[in-house]
């Protein structure tokens, strides 16, 4: 199945997976609901082999989902949405990491 879609993880490593399912992902209160990504909260979620790490982590949310949420939050609450919406710390860190990644990409591309 991994030959169907090649996925790259942090650091450029290949991300092995067994398959995927579509899951309806609902974000915490304060997040825009069903107004992003073509009116659907359904996203592909990878099925991976059991490891000591993923036995403790029930779901890894891809940047495709986080980027959609970031866009929707910015549209609804403005550029300073992290100061206006109560968001769990783990999601705050993920959204901040995305922002840093985008800045680095722009800088490396000369933008």
pLDDT the model gives residue 11: 75
Predicted model pTM: 0.63
HEC states along the chain?
A: CCCCCCCECHHHCECCCCEEEEEECCCCCCCCCCCCCCCCCEEEEEECCCCCCCCCCCCCCCHHHHHHHHHHHHHHHCCCHHHHCCCCHHHHHHHHHHHHHHHHHHHHCCC
pLDDT at 36 over 60: no
- Give pLDDT tens digits for 3-25: 567 777 777 788 788 888 888 87
């Amino acid at each position: 199945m991994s030959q169907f879609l090649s996925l790259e993880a942090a650091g450029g490593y290949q991300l092995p997976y067994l398959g995927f399912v579509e899951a309806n992902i609902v974000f915490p209160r304060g997040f825009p609901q069903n107004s992003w990504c073509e009116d659907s909260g359904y996203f592909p979620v990878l099925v991976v082999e059991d490891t000591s790490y993923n036995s403790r982590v029930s779901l890894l949310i891809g940047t495709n989902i986080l980027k959609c949420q970031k866009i929707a939050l910015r549209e609804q609450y403005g550029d300073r949405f992290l100061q206006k919406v109560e968001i769990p710390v783990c999601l705050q860190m993920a959204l901040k990491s995305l922002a840093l990644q985008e800045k680095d990409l722009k800088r490396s591309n000369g933008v």
